[in-house]
């Protein structure tokens, strides 16, 4: 990271020299030399690594970077120990959060299943889906729910990490006045959003829990949570897990939307200075692109969970039009939500990148117009020097370089990761009927 930062600073200096060429060393509007303007807007080398920045500006960390707290009023972040972590400066442990989520959901029910009067791995006439054969429930609370908890706990660190990277490389800069107003405004808003989203999540979780209780308790269903139409003690543990899972989903969605709106507000008030030579091949904004991947990863996990739900239902609970309707609705929802959750956090920075690129192209065009007008006035006298030709050639090369600047904060590698994650559930859903057909043909061949 140290060498990457040094390369970015060197690239910024080179861009400052290019801007000197564009305006002959002086900005036409402000009269300020471009090198001075660029340095004052972008570089904070003197403030990096000093404690004076955090003492002078309480909204910045010890490296002089803008930070924002999005965890106020959040119960899950408090349980993850964010107040203590903030004082110690340590990041939250995603691995600990993942295993803790599995330990408070699936592990107790696994123990409870062996104490239940129903078989844990053998289907009977009344028990069509025993506990250990319910792969949907296992995947939900060994993969989906722990992943959701881990990503929710880590979103604060991921956001501030991305902001720190783009500030450290000089891509995004914000005045102290704008920073103070932005942080004060969004600290209050995040607290309201967190509290409101938790209330909404609890309400939705309670409704989904009640629906599951009504749907899976009848004896005709044959699920491991009930026996002869009566809820078993393990069934209440099942409802507890359902409540946790479907309470956290709306909360995660609300925070993701709030983060996207916050980034839009940040881009509106910040100065964005893309670096054509930045080694991340995204003009220095690739850290922002990873925010979109985070959302896509959890959506991919949910998509795989839906595929497993459909497979378990078709194999153990039989086929029905409701199952096919659920699968069709899930596919349509996934196809629509996939690009949205990935692009959501990136759209604010795309607007800023397009605006910055247009400004740079306009500066090249203005400088070219000035030089061409000057050379045109010299045509009659025939005084066209080699320096004039070299300047025009340099301006053309600079224009070609700016034209290659990206307008999305992700590179080809990030896009490949998104497409792989996006296609995985769809490919799994398509592979299941094929695999079932092949296995059925093998069974018929061996047992005619």
What mean pLDDT is predicted for residues 322-351? 70
Of the two residues 92 and 261, the one the predictor is more confident about is 261
Phi, psi of 66 (to 5 degrees): -65, 130
State the pLDDT at residue 32. Answer: 35
State the pLDDT at residue 55. Answer: 37
Per-residue pLDDT tens digits for 144-201: 999 999 999 988 888 888 888 888 777 788 888 888 888 889 989 999 999 999 999 9
- Judge whether residue 29 has pLDDT over 50: no
Strand partners for 66:
60
pTM of the model: 0.74
Rounded Cα–Cα distance for residues 23 and 234 (Å): 74
What mean pLDDT is predicted for residues 386-412? 77
Per-residue pLDDT tens digits for 224-272: 999 888 899 999 999 999 999 999 999 998 998 898 889 888 888 888 7
What mean pLDDT is predicted for residues 356-366? 81
- Judge whether residue 138 has pLDDT over 60: yes
Highest mean pLDDT among 31-35, 132-136, 215-219, 335-339: 132-136
Instruction: Using pLDDT thresholds of 50, 70 and 90, give the confidence band for residue 30.
Output: very low
Question: What are the residue ranges spanned by the domains of the chain?
Answer: 66-272, 274-448
Percent of the chain with pLDDT over 70: 73
- Judge whether residue 409 has pLDDT over 90: no
């Amino acid at each position: 990271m140290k060498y990457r930062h040094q390369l970015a600073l060197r690239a910024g200096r080179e861009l400052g020299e290019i801007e000197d060429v564009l305006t002959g060393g002086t900005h036409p509007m402000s009269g300020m030399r471009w090198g001075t303007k660029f340095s004052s807007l972008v570089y904070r080398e003197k403030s990096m690594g000093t404690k004076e920045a955090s003492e002078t500006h309480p909204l910045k960390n010890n490296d002089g970077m803008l930070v924002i707290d999005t965890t106020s009023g959040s119960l899950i972040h408090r349980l993850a120990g964010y107040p203590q972590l903030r004082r110690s400066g340590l990041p939250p442990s995603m691995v600990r959060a993942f295993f803790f989520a599995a330990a408070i959901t699936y592990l107790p029910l696994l123990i409870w299943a062996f104490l239940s009067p129903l078989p844990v791995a053998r289907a009977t006439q009344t028990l069509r889906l025993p506990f250990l054969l319910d792969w949907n429930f296992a995947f939900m609370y060994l993969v989906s729910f722990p992943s959701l908890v881990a990503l929710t706990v880590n979103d604060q660190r991921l956001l501030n990490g991305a902001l720190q990277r783009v500030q450290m490389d000089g891509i995004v800069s914000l005045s102290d006045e704008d920073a103070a107003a932005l942080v004060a405004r969004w600290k209050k808003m995040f607290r309201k959003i967190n509290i409101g989203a938790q209330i909404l999540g609890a309400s939705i979780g309670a409704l989904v829990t009640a629906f599951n209780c009504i749907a899976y308790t009848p004896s005709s269903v044959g699920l491991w949570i009930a026996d002869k139409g009566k809820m078993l003690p393990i069934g209440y543990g099942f409802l507890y897990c359902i409540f946790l899972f479907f309470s956290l989903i709306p909360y995660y969605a609300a925070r993701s939307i709030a983060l996207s709106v916050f980034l839009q507000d940040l881009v509106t008030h910040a100065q964005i200075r893309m670096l054509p030579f930045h080694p991340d091949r995204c003009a220095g904004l690739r850290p922002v692109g990873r925010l979109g991947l985070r959302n896509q990863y959890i959506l991919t996990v949910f998509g795989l969970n839906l595929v497993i739900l459909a497979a378990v239902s078709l194999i153990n609970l039989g086929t029905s039009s409701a199952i096919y309707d659920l699968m069709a609705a899930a596919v349509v929802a996934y196809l629509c939500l996939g690009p949205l959750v990935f692009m959501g956090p990136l759209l604010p920075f795309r607007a800023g990148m397009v605006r910055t690129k247009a400004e740079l192209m306009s500066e090249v065009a203005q400088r070219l117009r000035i030089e061409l007008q000057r050379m045109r006035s010299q045509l009659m006298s025939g005084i066209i020097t080699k320096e004039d030709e070299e300047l025009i050639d340099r301006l053309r090369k600079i224009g070609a370089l700016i034209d290659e600047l990206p307008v999305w904060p992700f590179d080809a590698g990030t896009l490949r990761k998104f497409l792989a994650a996006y296609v995985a559930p769809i490919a799994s859903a398509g592979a299941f009927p094929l695999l079932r057909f092949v296995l059925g043909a093998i069974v018929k061949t061996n047992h005619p």
